[in-house]
């Protein structure tokens, strides 16, 4: 797993109205080649650093949360700058507000977080070359097999909170 040389990692939008600080290394870094990520990013793939929301601090204005459809049908919430509209992170329905998928390209030093895995390569654009030595999967993967032990421990501490979050979804009106 990637371990940045210097923490914290800072980032934000183009106009600098929204700024954030990651106070710990991410759980795992995904390079997603699904069609949804291609469309949302306007690029060949999206690179997202998964990290606990409480380890991402706002250091300027808060982003605007925009509900957006997703391939699962459950949707996602994308945090965007209210001024320049850059997406800085997403929260997917699985863990809701507890885990942020920080857009690596919004970091001041995005080169510090290369992908730990390439996912949904079944829809990878044919001219994108995957690097040797980085796991790649046609669809998704089993995190228990790939994540480092420290990330798995952090995720296990989140599990009861994620379960409680999901339980609230089941009780809310449709």
Range 59-67 contact pairs with CB under 8 angstroms and sequence separation of 24 or more: 59/10, 59/12, 59/19, 59/20, 59/21, 60/12, 60/16, 60/17, 60/18, 60/19, 61/17, 61/18, 61/19, 62/18, 63/13, 63/18, 63/88, 63/89
pLDDT at 169 exceeding the cut of 90 = no
pLDDT of 174 reads 39
pLDDT of 4 reads 52
DSSP codes of every residue in 40-74: HHTSS-EEEEEEEGGGEEESSBPPEEEEE--TTSS
Domain borders along the chain are 9-169
pLDDT of 76 reads 87
Distance CA(117)–CA(115), nearest Å, equals 5
Report pLDDT digits (tens) over 34-65.
999 999 899 999 999 999 999 999 999 999 99
pLDDT of 2 reads 54
Among 89-98, 101-110, 152-161, name the one with the lowest average pLDDT.
89-98
What is the enclosing helix (H) or strand (E) of 19?
strand 19-22
Select the CATH number that applies to the domain covering 9-169 from these four: 3.90.1590.10, 3.40.50.300, 3.30.565.10, 1.10.10.60.
Answer: 3.90.1590.10
Report pLDDT digits (tens) over 102-112.
999 999 999 99
Give the mean model confidence (pLDDT) for residues 10-22.
98
Give the mean model confidence (pLDDT) for residues 3-18.
86
Question: What does the radius of gyration of the chain's CA atoms come to, in whole angstroms?
Answer: 16
Q: How confident is the model at residue 74 (pLDDT cuts 50, 70, 90)?
A: confident
Percent above pLDDT 70 for the chain: 94
């Amino acid at each position: 797993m990637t371990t940045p040389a210097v923490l914290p990692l800072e980032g934000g939008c183009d106009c600098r109205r929204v700024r954030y600080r990651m106070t710990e290394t991410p759980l795992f870094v995904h390079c997603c080649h699904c069609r949804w990520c291609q469309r949302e990013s306007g690029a060949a793939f999206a690179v997202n650093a998964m990290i606990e929301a409480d380890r991402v601090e706002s250091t300027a204005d808060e982003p605007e949360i925009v509900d957006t459809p997703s391939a699962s049908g459950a949707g996602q919430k994308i945090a965007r700058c209210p001024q320049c509209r850059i997406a800085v992170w997403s929260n997917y329905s699985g863990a809701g507000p507890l885990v942020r998928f920080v857009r690596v390209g919004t970091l001041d030093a995005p080169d510090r977080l290369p992908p730990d895995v390439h996912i949904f390569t079944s829809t990878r654009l044919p001219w994108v070359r995957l690097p040797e030595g980085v796991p790649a999967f046609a669809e998704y993967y089993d995190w228990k097999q790939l994540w480092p032990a420290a990330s798995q421990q952090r995720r296990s501490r989140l599990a009861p909170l994620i379960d409680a979050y999901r339980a609230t979804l089941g009780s809310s009106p449709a």
